[in-house]
Amino acid sequence: MTQFADNIYVAGQTPMYGSSEPDADSGSGSKGRSRRGSRQRLNIVAILASLVVPWLLFCITYWSMSFSLHFSFPLICYAMDLMCLCVVIGTGLIAFDAVKKKKEATYNEATWAIFLFATCFLAWLLGLVFGDMNFVNHMEPYYDLSNLQAHRDVDPSLRTGQQLMDAGSIIFSQGSTLNLTMSMSFKSWDTYCVAPIVSGNGSKSSPSYDFWAVGVNCCSGNAVGGKADYHCGEINNVHAHSGLRFMRNDQRAFFRLAVQKAEASHNIKADHPLFFIWMQDPHAEMLTYMDKGYEYFVDGIFAHFVFQLFSVLVCCMAVLAAK
């Protein structure tokens, strides 16, 4: 315990446990200076700054990229991220200046300055990446769906996609189902599956099949035992006759290609196809997007704090062990 405490100094104070500096006039002065140079000191202010500043940068960037600021005011969101980058650049300038004056440093200023800059830049980058992932996968679909309309008792054989372009969710008329005999898939790395939503048992034809249930990697595109191998959404739920609008713009083109294949294969028309996830309760599923987004955000904040705390402890041990 005494040996460990003898290696720890606080800026502006004398060593603990009675340790004393060698007398400058004594014959062992040069030896004392060598001993002082080999000891490493912990700067409490630098430790706290290295723990808190990167974590705050992560929280601000992560929040701005995850939630409504990114959706409603993207320019303000990006301006805030740019301001955080300026803070990172400021820590980089401090680190550069500390390295230039490394020989004059007394309390490992260079080590902590470099550590602060590196972890600030990493925190800023992680906040951007994981915040955007949270936004795209959870919050953006929720905000998009919240701005669209909910329609009830829609007969897919009588209504067209052009009439319901504003639909975020649709509860179809009782008895509406999926016509699996006309299901189709398009493969482009992933398999994009579609099946038309029809009235009754599907015997009632429609001038244009504009409502399609969709999913990714949930069909093979081949019939199995005379029945299409399609198992997307709540296909086995007998109470399901509703759809939640599919909002991923980057995948919509692939579903459109699958619909075009179905048009050619079954000699049908789909003038204005709309894509939905087949389910029983679209409203509950929409709220799930929001819940997952907030959960993902909170988990990310705690995970980064633990990571930053661990990194600071490792740096402290490295400073103490340095000779």
The residue that leads in pLDDT, 88 or 22, is 88
What pLDDT, on a 0 to 100 scale, did the predictor assign at position 14?
42
What pLDDT, on a 0 to 100 scale, did the predictor assign at position 110?
82
- Give the burial class of 44: count Cβ atoms within 10 A of its Cβ; 0-12 exposed, 13-18 middle, 19 or more buried: exposed
Judge whether residue 126 has pLDDT over 90.
Answer: yes
pLDDT above 90 as % of the chain: 59
Average pLDDT estimate for 197-224: 78
The residue that leads in pLDDT, 181 or 293, is 293
Task: Give the chain's end-to-end CA distance (angstroms, integer).
Answer: 19
pLDDT 10s digits, 228-265: 688 999 988 988 999 999 988 889 999 999 999 999 99
What pLDDT, on a 0 to 100 scale, did the predictor assign at position 37?
46
Judge whether residue 225 has pLDDT over 60.
Answer: no
DSSP 8-state class, residue 201: T
Nearest to 318 by CA among 47, 69, 136: 47
Note the maximum CA span of the chain. Answer: 107
The residue that leads in pLDDT, 212 or 104, is 212
What pLDDT, on a 0 to 100 scale, did the predictor assign at position 249?
84
Report the C-alpha gap between 31 and 38 in whole angstroms. 11
pLDDT band at 311 (very low <50, low <70, confident <90, very high): very high
134-138, 224-228, 290-294: least confident range: 224-228
What pLDDT, on a 0 to 100 scale, did the predictor assign at position 188?
85
Cβ neighbours around 164 below 10 Å, total: 19
Cα–Cα separations (whole angstroms), residue 108 to 7, 38, 114, 115: 13, 12, 10, 11
Judge whether residue 143 has pLDDT over 80.
Answer: yes
What pLDDT, on a 0 to 100 scale, did the predictor assign at position 232?
92
pLDDT 10s digits, 151-203: 999 999 888 999 999 999 999 998 899 988 888 999 988 899 999 999 875 55
Judge whether residue 8 has pLDDT over 70.
Answer: no
pLDDT 10s digits, 12-57: 444 433 344 444 444 444 444 444 444 556 788 889 999 999 999 9
Would strands 211-216 and 274-279 be described as parallel, antiparallel, or unpaired?
parallel
pLDDT band at 320 (very low <50, low <70, confident <90, very high): confident
99-103, 121-125, 182-186: least confident range: 99-103
99-103, 148-152, 288-292: least confident range: 99-103
pLDDT band at 304 (very low <50, low <70, confident <90, very high): very high
